[in-house]
Structure 1
């Protein structure tokens, strides 16, 4: 199987803050176990269609709660996209060791009002960069056959898509990390920390 020709640190389409309303910039921040309630509320806000796409099938609210409660935070990096202070999109990177190499699965979710604005592409770009910085040798993502949006996003990063049995599996092979990839993640983390501190110190209006 041929490897993708391009380095997915910079995909074909690079979303930036210009892609979003000036009053609603996107802040990317890694979630921790303390954010589990916020993550759960985000998943519960997904429409039935989007929830089905996220979990590869229809699941009830209790299953969503159980998923969040059982999430392995040690093996999973969860990147949140915050708009106006609310979590509106999430990219998950779940790693699993398959000797002798490390592989990972990616899952994305974006709430309906914030779809088609580049949020999913922005999340996938940064999650793939995080995979690269963790020496993941292969990244894969799964989606339903009719999930055209996810397939479109994956193609922006030269994913190899295989269609079979009503589903689609996409694969990417990260390059080794370099100075630029490490700096990109560090800059994103620093910006998130700064925005959190500023938000906490913002004066209350009376």
Structure 2
């Protein structure tokens, strides 16, 4: 696994940082910030997810995302929001996983999400994506990271526990959980 060290002064944009990571099955991915030019790849990624993976990611069905939604997911300001895409090193144009966060107004906390292509699940990609995201959040002085997920999403529960998140039932919706990490 190759990782790029970051410091608090590093600017995050469409070209930096960039990581090359080897997953448990030996496959390699290139991880970099997602860019507006990745819209078609993001659409293909979302549409290629299983119904269950789309439901877990968006807490509902989003089979065919609108153009506006794709722009929202790929045209990132990188001041309040960060989004990393993992690309299959054997097929540079194919997104196989995405992690992202969006900060609260005061910048002290952020909501995060991670999604991995069904074929690429259980290989460590979700953990790799989240570790890069957590690293950036810490460098930016974010104190709390959280994710709202379906209580049925066992893989996310296991990933959150592995990464040190604390899990509580959503007080507003018992069908959801909130994973929280103090940074």
Name the counterpart of 1:97.
105
Q: Where does the alignment leave 5 or more consecutive residues of structure 2 unmatched?
A: 1-20
Q: Which has the larger radius of gyration?
A: 1
- The DSSP-based 3-state class of the residue aligned with 2:108 is strand
1:160 partnered with 2:177? no
Query: RCO (CA 8 Å, sep 6+): is it higher in 1 or 2?
Result: 1
Contact 2:54 2:63 in 1 (8 A): no
Name the counterpart of 1:66.
68
* Aligned mates of 1:97, 1:67 — CA distance in 2: 21
Give the structure with the higher percent helix. 1
* Aligned mates of 1:78, 1:104 — CA distance in 2: 12
TM-score normalised per structure 2 = 0.77
Shift of 1:18: 5.6
Name the counterpart of 2:143.
137
- The DSSP-based 3-state class of the residue aligned with 1:59 is coil
Contact 2:23 2:125 in 1 (8 A): no
**1:38 aligned residue (34, 38, 41):** 41
Question: How does 1:101-116 map onto structure 2 within 5 Å?
Answer: 101-116=107-122
Q: Where does the alignment leave 5 or more consecutive residues of structure 1 unmatched?
A: 1-15, 175-206
The alignment yields a C-alpha RMSD, in angstroms, of 1.7
Name the counterpart of 1:185.
none
Name the counterpart of 1:120.
126
* Aligned mates of 1:46, 1:114 — CA distance in 2: 11
TM-score normalised per structure 1 = 0.69
> Would you identify which runs of 4 or more consecutive aligned residues in structure 1 move more than 4 Å?
none
1:80 partnered with 2:85? yes
1:108-154 Cα distance to aligned partner (Å, 9 max, x none): 11111110111111111111111111111111011101000001001
